[in-house]
Amino acid sequence: MKIFISCIFVFISFSLVAQIRTNMPQFTPHQQHDTLDYFNKKDSLKIKLPKLPAGRYKIFTIENDTISVDTTLTIRDAYRFNQLFKDDFDYLPFSNIGHVLTQLSFDITDTDIIPGFVGQPKLTDYWPHPNIPFYFTPTPYSDLSYLNGMGQGQILNALFATNINKQLNVAANYRGLNSLGLYKNSVATSRRFLGSLNFNNRANTYRLKTYYYTYEKSNDENGGIANPLEFEQAGDIYSDRSRINVKLTDAHTQLKIHRLFVGQQYALVKQNLSLFNNLTYAGHAYKFEQKKATDLIGIASSGNGAVKDTVFLSHFQNIAGLKFQFHQLAVQSGIRYSHQVYTFDSLKVINNIYIPQKTIFNDLSLDNKARLNLGKLNFRGQLNIGFTKNIAGYYLAGQVRYKPNPQIGIFGEVKSLSKRPDFKYLLYQSAYDKFNWNHLDFKNESKQKISAQITHQYLGKLIFNQILINNYTYFGADSLPHQNTSGIQYLSVKYQKDFYYKKWGLATDFKWQKVLQGAGILHLPGYILRGSLFFSNYYFQHNLWVQTGFTAKYFEAYYANAYNPVLSDFVLQHQRKIGGYPIIDYFLNFKIKRFRFYFKLAHLNALGKQKNPDYYAAPLQPYPDFNIRFGLRWIFFN
């Protein structure tokens, strides 16, 4: 590892000295000069920074997809103020924030042919590589957020970004979560840190993007309620949720990820042909600990002794290739070398199943991307082809955006891929005999998706999704991995529209979905509804914006997957349904300049079910009771 990091720094230093030609960032070359002209030879700390519109502050990704910083307060913004900091319409939280969430809908989220790791449901607030943000800030930019926890605790998110000069932008982001929870053994903590740097030389011929990202999530795992009657017929005795008995009182899981990325680009022929090189190193670690093995989970090789399951994955990849850009067309193609080491604590043989201690994969793939902008019509494509065994397969994606006028937007997407299932299905080792398997012979999952979205300023938004999957891989009711050979067919239609009349508003979301084939292994509610009736108005000479109202959410009862704490994943079950009940919240939000405050009486209707609650987020995992949620967000532009 030390040798690897040293090589990277030598590589960067050599590149900075060489100053080989490359492209400027594509997003706003003219805006960079317009907004940064105030920088001169004087100390920038001694001059008064100008007031610039929020739209001049940009957030962009590795692919230079950009959005402007938004300081407004709308109902859609209020939906995003939760533990995910994104709209949770398709999710159902467990009793404590910072744990996993039940997913009420289905989608293909793959963006590559590299298999995933263990404990994927834990990654609720994790940033994968394509989502890492970089910043364009003509003046120093800060973004602070706070949200209270369950019982005791809080979520704190702090971001600071600034341009050191016209060529160099740096940013640091920290997010911390601590929440005690109301049930026994349900403490949740998580940490996330990102440090990023974006550099262009004065001639705009060399480009460097680099970041270091760490993510850690720890959860006490109680395995759910031991006796559902203690919750469903609680009465006054168990109104204190800490009195309810749970299955596990000594289990704990921890997931750690760290990632280092260095991406460079050099112009070879003016600014039309460039050489690029992207280096990434990522380390993953998952651990399940228990002070004493229990028969509730299974037979352990250690008898009644302590359990400590650990699994590691290190991944180094290097992509090098050429990028061609001519006017509005950009095409890049590169060869990727991938080195993965998947490791357990020891070699193990359980019931004649051989579980190797270490598995090493060295693979090559061809990575291609293309963009074409034709005014109101934009195209994007990606094709990854794996040549070697571990990543033998392909990933093909195409997107088109068309905006004929300011009122209408059309988006279409097609995905087709064939890739190996995630590592958690292929190879796993545990102190519990049941959770040991070697399925390296599993076939590739084949997935296809067609998606279309039409947005109209007055008529709303309509989203259509169709998904087909062959060799779908999942954890069955026995908590073991299985592959379905008969195929999965999924269809969904979502409609979203906000209505306004004077100072009143009604926000509506409706999703209909159906599993046309494979309903026995893909359990989802047939529909999800959400509506908000609210009142908004300015006060104190338009200095205070207030928004208040009620939100109701409802989804059809269905056999939701159960949560398995050993795997930190969901498994099939056919015994208990959840859903079929409303969730009603009251909210009061206000905004003063760039300061926003959020207040919510969450799950208000639970007050009427205190003695006989029947609401769950997953079998034996209660949905949160009535609770008071509040938080704030404050943005600074200096």
Each residue's pLDDT tens digit, 346-387: 888 888 889 899 999 999 999 999 999 998 999 999 999 999
CB 121 within 8 A of CB 568: yes
Q: What is the DSSP string of 463-486?
A: EEEEEEEESEEEE-TTSSEEEESS
Sign of CA dihedral 532, 534, 538, 543: negative
Q: Which residues contact 169 (CB under 8 A, 6 or more apart)?
A: 134, 135, 136, 137, 161, 162, 163, 197, 198, 199
pLDDT tens-digit readout, 493-536: 999 999 999 999 999 999 999 999 999 999 999 999 999 999 99
Domain spans, the chain: 2-636
pLDDT tens-digit readout, 590-631: 999 999 999 999 999 999 887 788 899 999 999 999 999 999
Q: Which residues contact 225 (CB under 8 A, 6 or more apart)?
A: 231, 244, 245, 246, 247, 620, 621, 622
pLDDT at 166: 83
- Degrees (nearest 5) of the Cα angle 88, 313, 392? 90
pLDDT tens-digit readout, 267-287: 987 778 999 999 999 999 999
pLDDT at 158: 97
pLDDT at 52: 67
Q: Can you list the residues of the chain whose pLDDT is less than 70?
A: 1-55
pLDDT at 323: 94
Distance CA 279, CA 334 (A): 12
Question: 401-410 contacts: CB < 8 A, separation 24 or more?
Answer: 401/377, 402/376, 402/377, 402/378, 403/376, 404/376, 406/457, 407/456, 407/457, 407/458, 408/454, 408/455, 408/456, 408/457, 409/453, 409/454, 409/455, 410/452, 410/453, 410/454, 410/455
pLDDT tens-digit readout, 428-454: 999 999 999 999 999 999 999 999 999
Other C-beta atoms lying within 10 Å of the C-beta of residue 100: 25
Structure tokens at 481: 């991995």
pLDDT at 11: 36
pLDDT at 16: 35
pLDDT at 58: 85
Distance CA 546, CA 535 (A): 8
| Percent of the chain that is helix, strand, coil (3-state, to 5) | 10, 55, 35
**Bridge partners of residue 254, in order along the sequence:** 218, 287
- The label of the residue with tokens 């005014």 reads 375
pLDDT at 238: 83
CATH superfamily for domain 2-636: TonB-dependent receptor, beta-barrel domain (2.40.170.20)
Q: Which residues contact 277 (CB under 8 A, 6 or more apart)?
A: 263, 264, 265, 318, 319, 320
Structure tokens at 610: 């205190």
pLDDT at 203: 82
Distance CA 620, CA 231 (A): 9
Specify the pairing of strand 66-68 against strand 153-163: unpaired
